Amino acid sequence: MRDVYLIGIGQTKISKNLGVRGRYMAAEAIEKAIEHAGIDRKQIGMLITGNMTGGILANQTQLGALIADAAGLRGIEAMNCESACGSSAAAARLGVMAVGGGYHDVALVCGIERMTHVPNEAMTAALATAADWELDSMNTVSFISLNARLMRRYMDTYGVTAEDFGHFAIVAHDNGLTNPNAFLHKKIDMETYLNSRMLADPVKLLDAPPVCDGAAAILLATEEVARAAHRSGLPMIKVAASAIGTDSPGLDARREMLELDAVTISTRNALEQAGLKNEDIDIFEPHDAYTIITALSLEAAGFAEKGKGVHFGKNGEITRTGKLPICTFGGLKSRGHPVGATGAYQLAETYMQLTGTAGENQVPDPEFALVQNIGGTGTTVVSHILQRCA
């Protein structure tokens, strides 16, 4: 395997009901990434898009070729990758393999999702396809209800209350305030969190992410290309690890409902690839779609003991100046969760942190970041470790 570097990023502002078709949102993000990297588009050998619902909500598949055409890359090797909410991180995994394996010197990854142009019922049904249709979704189970099951089980098992989850949402919203691409710029406190509307007991509105649209793109390249494109004064960003772990889509089929085994597998493999331990990680970008998933991810990834993840961060450990900053640009809760595009946003934001270009959201002097994107309720978990290099 050749070393792989992240050399360019592009993001659109996360939005709702703009009326802009997905291909044009994707093309905007791609153009920004190419301009940011400072390379000729002819150097790009491959495009992998990450999308979950296009075939259902937009009646459009073939997104790889469609977006390549819209972005002025007609004829390029292109494909779409679907892994539910983890689609664009899985696409990035394919990009790492393509560059690292010697198939291409530059690979373009673009996450795109458009969900707000359809009624809520259609959107909810589309998202439910990420669960086990036979065991869960056909019985009118939604992702809100699945996360409510997890949260209730956790509360009953460990004797915690709804208030114990609030700090995750509060920190995410604080960080989103200064992210220009975030969907929600709304500061909240514990009272606001506790009084937010109940969606499915015990999951409240501020436990869940907003429905939104967005596109983000990243460029992956060999060290030779990365050095040629390197901007003076900025560090280079290496993809030190890339790994996927999986589990059953059905909660009842899992070894243990409150242990996200795919997070454990994916994290362990990524740390081993990078030659690191948990204590070496300076930033953790979890898939905080629901506050219960944040708590369970902290435990499964090895940052908190079983049953203690919900308490992690109550003393400021997860703020941008804390021991383990998380959701540094607002996470899924405040930045927004355009499902198939979320992983690309996470990687773009982490690139900014490691290059010291995160502005008001900057974490002090990070070197290693673990970026984790989840498809379903812990079914497909994609972990990347990014490293700041000289």
How many other CB atoms sit within 10 Å of the CB of residue 276? 17
Angle between helices 291-300 and 143-158 (to 10 degrees): 60
- Shortest CA distance to 286 belongs to which of 273, 306, 304? 304
Please tell me the distance from the alpha carbon of residue 63 to that of residue 30, in angstroms, as a whole number: 14
Host H or E run for residue 145: helix 143-158
84 φ/ψ sector (left φ>0, alpha ψ -120 to 50, else beta): left
Concerning whether 110 is annotated as a catalytic residue, the answer is: no
209 prior amide bond cis, ω within 30: no
Please tell me the distance from the alpha carbon of residue 336 to that of residue 345, in angstroms, as a whole number: 10
Select which of 36, 104, 173, 337 is catalytic: 337
Strand order across the 236-246 sheet = 77-81, 46-50, 106-113, 214-222, 4-11, 236-246, 380-389, 368-375, 283-285
Select which of 81, 85, 110, 327 is catalytic: 85
Please tell me the distance from the alpha carbon of residue 246 to that of residue 262, in angstroms, as a whole number: 5
Please tell me the distance from the alpha carbon of residue 266 to that of residue 264, in angstroms, as a whole number: 6
* 203-204 and 198-200 beta bridge pairing: antiparallel
Please tell me the distance from the alpha carbon of residue 89 to that of residue 242, in angstroms, as a whole number: 9
Concerning whether 85 is annotated as a catalytic residue, the answer is: yes
What would the two tokens of residue 328 be? 């540094």
Dihedral sign, Cα of residue 116, residue 349, residue 381, residue 237: positive
Active-site residue set: 85, 337
